[in-house]
Structure 1
Amino acid sequence: MGDQVRKLAYGTWPSPIGAALAADHDGAPQYPGFVGDEVWWTEPRPAEAGRRALVRRRADGTEESVLPPPWNVRSRVMEYGGRPWTGTVREGRPVVVFVNFADQRLYRHEVEGGGEPQPLTPLSSVGGGLRWAEPEVREGPGGRAEVWCVLEEYTGDGPSDLRRLHVAVPLDGSAAEDRGALRELSRPTHHFVTGARVSPDGTRAAWLAWDHPRMPWDGTELVVADITEDGVLAMPRVMAGGEEESVAQVEWTADGRLMWSSDHSGWWNLYRDGEPVCPREEEFGGPVWTPGSRWFAPLECGLVAVLHGKGAQVLGVLDPEACEVVDAAGPWSEFAAALAVHGDRVVAVGAGARRSFEVVELDTRLGSARVIGSAHRDSVDPAYLPEPEARVFTAADGREVHAQVYPPHHPEVTGPDGELPPYVVWAHGGPTSRVPMVLDLEIAYFTSRGIGVVEVNYGGSTGYGREYRNRLREQWGVVDVEDCAAAALALAEEGVADRARLAVRGGSAGGWTTAASLAFTDVYACGTVIYPVLDLTAWASGETHDFESRYLESLVGPLAEVPERYRERSPGESPERIEAPFLLLQGLEDPICPPAASERFLERVRAGGRGVPHAYIAFEGEGHGFRRADTMVRALEAELSLYAQVFGFEAPDVPVLELRK
Structure 2
Amino acid sequence: MSDPITAPFGTWVSPITPERVAAAQTTLVDVLLDHGEVYWIEGRPLEAGRHVLVRLGPDGVGVDVTPTPFSARTRVHEYGGGAVLAAAGTVCFSNFSDQRLYRIDGAAAAVALTPPSDGAALRYADGLLDARRRLWIGVREDHRAAGTEAVNAIVAVGLSGGDTGKVLVQGNDFYASPRLSHDGTRLAWLTWNHPDMPWTAAALWVGDFDGTAVTHAAHIAGGPGESVFQPEWSADGLLHYVSDRSGWWNIYRCDASGSSTNLCPIAAEFGRAQWAFGMSTYAFLSPHLLVCAYIENGMGKLARLDLRDSTLAPFDLPYTDFSAVRANGGKVVFKAGGPGVASAVVVLDASSGYATAVKSVSNVQSDPAIRDHISVPRRFEFPTPRGEVAFAWFYPPANANYQGPAGALPPLVVKCHGGPTSSASRSLDLRTQFWTSRGIAVVDVDYGGSTGYGRAYRDRLHWMWGLIDAEDCAAAASYLAADQRVDSTRMVITGGSAGGFTALRCLTHADPAIRTLFKAGASHYGVSDLLALARETHKFESRYLDWLVGPLSDRQAYFDRTPVRHADRLSVPVAFFQGAEDKIVPPSQTEEMVAALRARGIPALYLLFAGEQHGFRQASNIQQALQAEAAFFDALAFGVGTDGIPVLLFAGARGTGVDLFSVSKLTVRNSSNGAGSVR
Give the Å deviation of 1:156.
2.4
Give the Å deviation of 1:58.
1.9
- Residue 151 (1) aligns with residue 140 (2): yes
2:160 & 2:177 partners in 1: Cα distance? 21
Farther off after superposition, 99-108 or 299-308: 299-308
Paired residue secondary structure (1:136): strand
1:260 & 1:277 partners in 2: Cα distance? 10
* TM-score normalised over the length of structure 2: 0.91
Farther off after superposition, 368-377 or 191-200: 368-377
2:287 & 2:248 partners in 1: Cα distance? 26
Give 1:208-607 correspondences, 5 Å limit: 208-228=190-210, 230-273=211-254, 274-310=260-296, 311-336=298-323, 338-374=324-360, 377-378=363-364, 379=367, 380-520=369-509, 521-540=515-534, 542-560=535-553, 562-607=554-599
C-alpha contact 2:127 2:178 (8 A) present in aligned 1: no
1:151 & 1:211 partners in 2: Cα distance? 16
Q: 1:348 to 1:626 in 2, by over 3 A?
A: same
Q: 1:660 to 1:270 in 2, by over 3 A?
A: farther
C-alpha contact 2:395 2:442 (8 A) present in aligned 1: yes
Give the Å deviation of 1:312.
2.5
Give the Å deviation of 1:53.
1.1
1:34 & 1:316 partners in 2: Cα distance? 18
Give 1:42-61 correspondences, 5 Å limit: 42-61=41-60
C-alpha contact 1:534 1:572 (8 A) present in aligned 2: yes
The aligned counterpart of 2:602 is 612
2:426 & 2:90 partners in 1: Cα distance? 37
Paired residue secondary structure (2:547): helix
C-alpha contact 2:27 2:44 (8 A) present in aligned 1: no
After superposition, the C-alpha distances for 1:625-652 in whole angstroms (9 at most, x for unaligned) are 1111000000000011011111211244
Give 1:621-636 correspondences, 5 Å limit: 621-636=611-626
Farther off after superposition, 64-73 or 386-395: 64-73
Give the Å deviation of 1:659.
6.8
Aligned residue-pair number: 636
Give the Å deviation of 1:376.
5.0
After superposition, the C-alpha distances for 1:425-454 in whole angstroms (9 at most, x for unaligned) are 000000000112111001111111111100
After superposition, the C-alpha distances for 1:294-344 in whole angstroms (9 at most, x for unaligned) are 1111223520111112222221110011211111222112212x1112133
C-alpha contact 2:597 2:604 (8 A) present in aligned 1: no
Q: What's the % identity of the aligned pairs?
A: 39
C-alpha contact 2:234 2:287 (8 A) present in aligned 1: no
C-alpha contact 1:87 1:97 (8 A) present in aligned 2: yes
Paired residue secondary structure (2:641): coil
2:541 & 2:360 partners in 1: Cα distance? 32
Q: Residue 543 of structure 1 aligns to which amino acid in structure 2? A: E
Give the Å deviation of 1:619.
0.3
The aligned counterpart of 2:66 is 67
C-alpha contact 1:253 1:299 (8 A) present in aligned 2: no
Q: What runs of 5+ residues in structure 1 fail to find an aligned partner?
A: none
C-alpha contact 1:54 1:73 (8 A) present in aligned 2: yes
2:328 & 2:663 partners in 1: Cα distance? 57
2:557 & 2:87 partners in 1: Cα distance? 52
The aligned counterpart of 2:677 is none
Paired residue secondary structure (1:637): helix
Q: Residue 345 of structure 2 aligns to which amino acid in structure 1? A: V
C-alpha contact 1:33 1:40 (8 A) present in aligned 2: yes
Q: What runs of 5+ residues in structure 2 fail to find an aligned partner?
A: 255-259, 510-514, 646-658, 665-679
- Residue 205 (1) aligns with residue 187 (2): yes
The aligned counterpart of 1:130 is 122
Paired residue secondary structure (2:533): helix
The aligned counterpart of 2:112 is 119
- Residue 107 (1) aligns with residue 107 (2): no
Farther off after superposition, 305-314 or 279-288: 305-314
Q: 1:466 to 1:339 in 2, by over 3 A?
A: same
2:435 & 2:22 partners in 1: Cα distance? 13
Farther off after superposition, 390-399 or 22-31: 22-31
2:39 & 2:639 partners in 1: Cα distance? 48
Q: Residue 185 of structure 1 aligns to which amino acid in structure 2? A: L
C-alpha contact 2:500 2:525 (8 A) present in aligned 1: yes
Paired residue secondary structure (2:47): coil
Give the Å deviation of 1:479.
0.5
Give the Å deviation of 1:603.
2.1
